[in-house]
Amino acid sequence: MELIFATNNAHKLAEVQAVLGNRFTLRTPRSCGITEEIPEEQPTLEGNALQKARYIHERTGCDCFADDTGLEVEALDGAPGVHSARYATDGHDFAANNRLLLHNLEGVENRRARFRTVIALILNGEEHLFEGVVEGHIIDRETGDEGFGYDPLFVPEGGVRTFAQMSTEEKNAVSHRARAVRRLVEYLHNLKK
């Protein structure tokens, strides 16, 4: 089965392709001639995931899905949340975002946080949402070189290493995104039965 994954984030693409294996062929917006940044202007992850998927569907007519993800920190009332990409600056400046997060958590004892992914699928013109969550905590300095975004600061529940100290396979065993993708796959498999 072929699906367009409405993302410009190469890290996400690699993670999702690793969960899907060779049962699904993922196409990128770029491979369909869509090179501009896909708009995400909604106040919720659900709204943004739908906006991104609709943007691609309207332009291609193809089955597609999008992922919107936020890091929700308990002591910061759920921030950066839907603003995770643009927490510190207008762009996707991972280092600046991480610095600001550490600054805002200085002296804060409660380090609990979670990643939440919402996937919006448009299949035969119908919209479906899937969610994946991983609980964990924020450590006090960046650790590890793998992954992207807030990975060097996030340790999933029950572990001692950050996502940035894990291989894609290890991150996918517990991550928010992999959980949402597995729900998507389960849905698609059940359709075929």
Residues 21-40 within binding reach of ligand ITT (CB under 6 A): 40
Pinpoint the alpha helices (H) of the chain: 10-20, 45-60, 94-104, 168-174, 176-192
The answer to whether 165 contacts ligand ITT (rule: CB under 6 A) is no
Q: Which is nearer to ligand ITT, 39 or 61 (CB)?
A: 39
Q: Could you say which of 3, 4, 19, 85 contacts ligand ITT (CB under 6 A)? A: 85
- For residues 29 and 56, the answer to whether their CB atoms sit within 8 Å is yes
Query: Do strands 126-138 and 2-5 pair parallel, antiparallel, or not at all (unpaired)?
Result: unpaired
Query: Rounded to the nearest whole angstrom, what is the least distance from the CB of residue 151 to ligand ITT in the complex?
Result: 4
Which CB atom, from 57 or from 190, has the smaller least distance to ligand ITT? 57
Q: Does 72 bind ligand ITT (CB under 6 A)?
A: no
**67 an active-site residue?**
no
> What is the C-alpha separation between 39 and 160, in angstroms, rounded?
36
Query: Which CB, 41 or 190, lies closer to ligand ITT?
Result: 41
Residues that bind ligand ITT (CB under 6 A): 7-9, 12, 40, 67-69, 84-85, 92, 94, 97, 115, 147-151, 163, 177
